[in-house]
Structure 1
C-alpha cells in the first residue's frame, strides 16, 4: 500500500502541479503498481477470512474503502493539473490513506496482525523515496502514533487476545524498523539528489565547452574552427544557388590599440561584431577569423546581394561610438568579396577575397572590393 512518488526540490518545497504529460504518465504508472499491491492485499485478506482468522464484515468494509480510495486517487492524479494539486501533496495524501488502511488491517487481522507491520515499513520506505526526508519522517511519526494508539486500544479491550507485553515489544520492533528504514532511505534520497545536481552541473559544463568550442569569447561571434565546419557543410550541400564569402579587416586597428589601449581595442571589436551581426540576413554567418579580421559567409547570395549586406554593415559600423575614443574617430573596415564558383573549394574563394581585401586596403581603406 504505497503512494505514488512526487517531485520536490532540494529544499523540500512543494513542486509545481504535474502539468506535463511525461510526469502524468509516470504518476499513473506508480498508481497502477499501488493498485496491484492493494489488490494483492485484499486477496490475502479474503484468504484470512476464509481461514477464519479475520471477521468477514470488517474485512469487506476495509476492502471497499481501499478500492474506493484507489479509484479516488486515480481521479486526483488525472485532474491534478486542473485542480492545482502538487505531486508531493498527492504522495502525502496517499501515504496517509495507506497508513490508515494498514492500521485498520492490523486491528482486524487477528493472529496474522504482525504481518501488517511489514507492510507499514514498506509504505514508509516508499514515502521516503517519494518526498523530502523531513516530510517522510513526519509521516513515519504519524504511522507510529497511529499504531501506538491502536495497539493500546486493542490491549485495553482484549488483553487476552492482545497481550500488553507482546503489543509493546511489537511496537518497539516496528519503531526500530521504521526509524532505520527512514534514515537509510533518506540518505539514499539525498545521494540521489546530489547525483542529480552533479549531472545537471556536468551537462551545464558540457554546454559551456560546446559554446567555447564554437564561439569567439571576446566578440561572441563564431570562431575560426566553427566557421571551417560551416564552410565544409556548405561545400557538401548541393544547391544551385551561388554563395559568397567576404573578408573584413578593421582599418588602422593597431593605431587604436597604441593610442587608446587594448581595453578600448577590445571594445571596438565587440562593437563592430554587434553592429555587423545586426546587418546580416537570417542564414549569414560572421566569424572572427583572426585578430581584427572577420570572415563572412553568405549562402545562396549573388555578389550584388552580398554587397548590399556589406553596405549595411558599413552604415552601422560608421555610426558606432566607442567609450574612450574621441567622437571624431570613426570606425571603418575594408572588405574583399568573392563569389564561390561552381564546385570550387571555399579555400580558393577565400583566397580571392583576401586578394580583393588587399586591393581595398591599397586603394585607401574603408571600401569594398569584389574579386
Structure 2
C-alpha cells in the first residue's frame, strides 16, 4: 500500500518525478519559513492575522501547484511555464512576508534572492531577467507603500537604501544566470559530443567497418553468451564460410573489387538469415555464422539459401564473374565449448575446399 501510495503521489515517470522533487524542495522551504514566522508571532514581531493569511495563501498555492504539475501533460503546460508560475507565487509570498515581518523584514530579502537563484537552473536567461525585474518592481512598490503609510516603522531613507541593496543583488544574480546558461549549454554540447564519440567507439569495437558485420572480437563475446545460455543443450550450429578464389579476384581486378565482393557478399548473406542468426567477419574473406535454436538440417537449408543468393549477386567491377563460397557446418554437442565446434567446422570447410569448393560440408 505504501508503494502504491508513493507511485500515486510521485509518479513513475522520471521527468515528472524530478519536477515533483523540485516542488517538494520548495515545500520544505515554505515550512521552514512558516516556522520562523510563527516564532515572530510568538515574540510579538509580526501580526498574527496577517501571518495566518500568508500561511493559508502559501498552503493553497503549494497544493495548487502540485495538482498543476501532476496534470501538466493534460493541461499542456510546459515545465518552464510551471517554474515561472511557482517563482511568481514565491515572490508574492516574499513581498507579503517582508511587509509583515517588522524589524526582521530585511532578512526576507535573502529569500527573494534565493528564489531567483533557483530559477537560474530551471529557466532561460530572459525568463530569469524578467522575474528579477518583477521582483524589483514588486518589492519596490511594497517598500514605497509601507514608507508612505507608516513612516515611523518603515523610515523612507532605510527603505530606499534597502531597496538599493536588493536591486543590486537581483541584477547581479540575473546577469550571472546568463553566464550559467551559457555554461550549461556548453556542457550539454560537450556531453552530446562525448556521447556521439562513445557510440562511434562502441560501433568500431563491435562492427567490421568494411562489411558492417559483427567483428571477431564481438563474435567471441556472442559465442560466450551462447555457451552460458545453452550450457548443456545441443541445439546450436556453427558454420565457417570462405569466399572461393578471393585472392584471384584481388590479383586480377584489384583490392577495390575485392572490397566490393566482401560488401556484396555480406549484404546477400544477411538477407538469407533468420532474425536471431549472427554472421561475423572472422578474418579476411572468412566468415563465421552462429545459428542458435536450430536443427542441423534446417541450418544446412539456411546455408544453401545463402549460397543461392551469393551466386545470383552481381558485383561491380568483376565483368560479370560470379562469386561462390565454401562452408563447413558443425552442430554443437551437449556441453561442448564453441571453440571445439568451430574447430570441427573448420575441418569441414577444408574438406569442402578439397572437394572442389562451392559446396557445404557437414562435420
TM-score (structure 1 length as normaliser): 0.85
Secondary structure of 1:113 counterpart: helix
Q: What's the secondary structure of 1:131's corresponding residue?
A: coil
Aligned residue for 2:129?
Answer: 137
Matched position secondary structure for 1:295 = strand
Contact 1:247–1:293 under 8 Å retained in 2 = yes
Q: Is 1:74 equivalent to 2:66 in the alignment?
A: yes
Q: State yes or no: 1:227 paired with 2:223.
A: no
Equivalent residue, structure 2, for 1:331? 323
Measured after TM superposition, the shift of residue 360 of structure 1 is 2.5
2:333 is the counterpart of 1:315: no
Picking from 142, 163, 166, the partner of 2:158 is: 166
Mapping for residues 182-221 of structure 1, pairs under 5 Å: 182-184=174-176, 187-188=179-180, 190-192=182-184, 194-221=186-213
Q: How many residues align?
A: 353
Counterpart pick for 2:287 among 294, 299, 303: 294
Report deviation, 1:88: 1.3
Match runs of 1:270-289 below 5 Å: 270-289=263-282
Measured after TM superposition, the shift of residue 270 of structure 1 is 1.6
> In structure 2, what is the Cα distance between the partners aligned to 1:215 and 1:233?
17
SS where residue 218 of structure 1 aligns? coil
More relative contact order in 1 or in 2 (CA 8 Å, sep 6+)? 1
1:83 pairs with 47, 52, 75, which one?
A: 75
Equivalent residue of 1:246, what SS?
Answer: strand
Residue 290 of structure 1 and its aligned partner are, at CA, apart by 1.0
Q: Tell me which of 284, 298, 303 is aligned to 2:296.
A: 303
Q: Is the 8 A contact 1:333 1:366 kept in 2?
A: yes
Q: Secondary structure of the equivalent of 2:69?
A: helix
Is the 8 Å Cα contact of residues 234 and 334 (structure 2) preserved in structure 1?
no
Deviation per residue, 1:266-319 (Å, 9 max, x gap): 222122112212222333221111111111122343331211010111122223
Q: Distance in 1 between matches of 2:90 and 2:333?
A: 75
- Gapped regions of structure 1 (runs ≥ 5): 1-17
Gaps of 5+ in 2: 1-9
**Which residue in the other structure is 1:7 paired with?**
none
Relative to structure 1, is the Cα distance of residues 235 and 130 closer, same or farther in structure 2, using a 3 angstrom cutoff? Answer: closer
Deviating more after overlay: 358-367 vs 271-280: 358-367
CA distance in 2, matches of 1:264, 1:19: 58
* 2:87 match: 95
| Aligned match of 2:254 | 261
CA distance in 1, matches of 2:336, 2:12: 50
Q: Who is 1:14 aligned against?
A: none
Question: What residue number does 1:367 align with?
Answer: 359
Summarize the Cα distance change of 1:19–1:36 in structure 2 as closer, same or farther, 3 Å threshold.
Answer: closer
Deviations 1:244-266 (A, max 9, x none): 22221112223333444333322
Bigger Cα displacement from structure 2, 29-38 vs 111-120: 29-38
